[in-house]
Amino acid sequence: MRHRKKTIKLGRTSAHRESMLANQVCSLIATKRIKTTLPKAKATRSLAEKMVTLGKAGDLAARRRALATLKNKAAVSELFSSLAPAFADRKGGYTRIYKLGKRGSDSAEMALLEWVNYVPPAPKSSGDEKKPAKAADDKAA
């Protein structure tokens, strides 16, 4: 029976799974959102929220534990310097998962995993795109 066994195995060995999830969390820290399959997103969410909790502690022991898990100094410094202080007043639930539907090639359920306080960049205005096109027309004439 699987009572109280929480680990999502994802069809990988434990070493492969740990390094893959660490890479996913590092990518989430760096880019603020990642697109992946739904089971991977659910497994990554658990580790990401644990890392934010370590970042909120902010002491040397927590930094060393995060570095032992993520194995990426840049991601750990970003986590402790900017990401964890942004969640200082929040008690949990630092990430959200959007379901995107099925992938065309293998019908895998896709999801978007992002931080709760993530603000997507504003789209470029259409006026900037038209100016270079006019310059190209002037050169042709």
Is residue 3 in a domain?
no
Q: What is the pLDDT of residue 61?
A: 97
Answer yes or no: is pLDDT of 136 > 60: no
Residue 6 pLDDT grade (very low, low, confident, very high; cuts 50, 70, 90): confident
Question: What range does the domain containing 124 cover?
Answer: 14-140
Is residue 97 in a domain?
yes
DSSP secondary structure, 50-90, as one string: HHHHHHHH-SHHHHHHHHHHH--HHHHHHIIIIIHHHTTT-
Is residue 31 in a domain?
yes
Is residue 4 in a domain?
no
Question: Do the Cβ atoms of 71 and 40 come closer than 8 Å?
Answer: no
Q: What is the pLDDT of residue 122?
A: 82
pTM of the model: 0.82
Is residue 9 in a domain?
no
DSSP secondary structure, 99-112, as one string: EEEE-TTT-PEEEE
Answer yes or no: is pLDDT of 77 > 60: yes
What value does the mean pLDDT of the chain take? 90
Domains contained in the chain, number: 1
Is residue 8 in a domain?
no
133 vs 53, higher pLDDT: 53
Is residue 7 in a domain?
no
Tokens of 132: 């270079």
Is residue 38 in a domain?
yes
Q: What is the pLDDT of residue 24?
A: 97
Output DSSP code: residue 125. P
Which tens digits make up the pLDDT trace of 22-63? Answer: 999 999 999 999 999 999 999 999 999 999 999 999 999 999
CATH code of the domain in which 70 resides: 3.90.1030.10
